[in-house]
């Protein structure tokens, strides 16, 4: 996590959705997001007035936000966005389709867990899985010394301290 990410983390409150998943509520405007990345994008754009990276269009001189490239190509030029043939998900660039297909549809799972032989498409997914088998609890609460396997569980726990201070 970068220093910028840490400062952005100060601007949301973790909440729990009805299904138990985490929600990220903006402290500035109370908008709620299902993913931390969506909150970060919102906060940087709306509250910090940072603009997303712009890329040039192949067909016209317009510069568009990288994440809006597919939308621009389809709606302005009638060019279909690169999409996954298996699930229809659209992407900005063809290489993203290939990466997605390898990960989710091609069954290319070359990373194997040494403990249970479960296979994964990426080294990152394997590493995340291996935490389940480990007794390590590297995320420690500064307030009460409780430890957690996953950072998201520490974040949720820390909210109990923050809520207790407010009451």
The whole model's pTM is what? 0.42
Cα separation, 74 vs 97, in Å, equals 16
Which class is 111-166 in CATH?
A: alpha beta
pLDDT tens-digit readout, 92-143: 889 989 988 887 787 667 788 999 988 877 788 888 888 889 898 888 998 8
List beta partners, residue 147: 140
Both tokens of 148, joined, read 């957690």
Domain extents for the chain? 1-51, 111-166
Contact between 157 and 148 under an 8 Å Cβ cutoff? The reply is yes
Mean pLDDT for the chain? 83
């Amino acid at each position: 996590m970068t220093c910028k990410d840490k400062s952005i983390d100060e601007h949301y409150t973790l909440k729990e959705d009805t299904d138990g998943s985490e929600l990220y509520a903006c402290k500035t405007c109370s908008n709620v997001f299902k993913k931390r990345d969506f909150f970060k994008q919102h906060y940087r754009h709306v509250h910090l007035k940072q603009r997303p990276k712009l890329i040039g269009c192949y067909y016209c001189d317009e510069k568009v936000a990288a994440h809006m490239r597919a939308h621009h190509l389809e709606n302005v030029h009638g060019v279909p966005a690169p999409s996954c043939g298996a699930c229809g998900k659209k992407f900005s660039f063809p290489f993203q389709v290939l990466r997605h297909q390898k990960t989710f549809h091609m069954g290319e799972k070359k990373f194997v867990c040494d403990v249970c032989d479960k296979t994964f498409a990426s080294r990152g997914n394997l590493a995340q899985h291996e935490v389940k088998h480990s007794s390590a609890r590297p995320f420690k609460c500064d307030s009460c010394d409780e430890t957690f396997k996953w950072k998201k569980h520490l974040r949720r726990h820390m909210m109990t301290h923050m809520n207790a201070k407010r009451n």
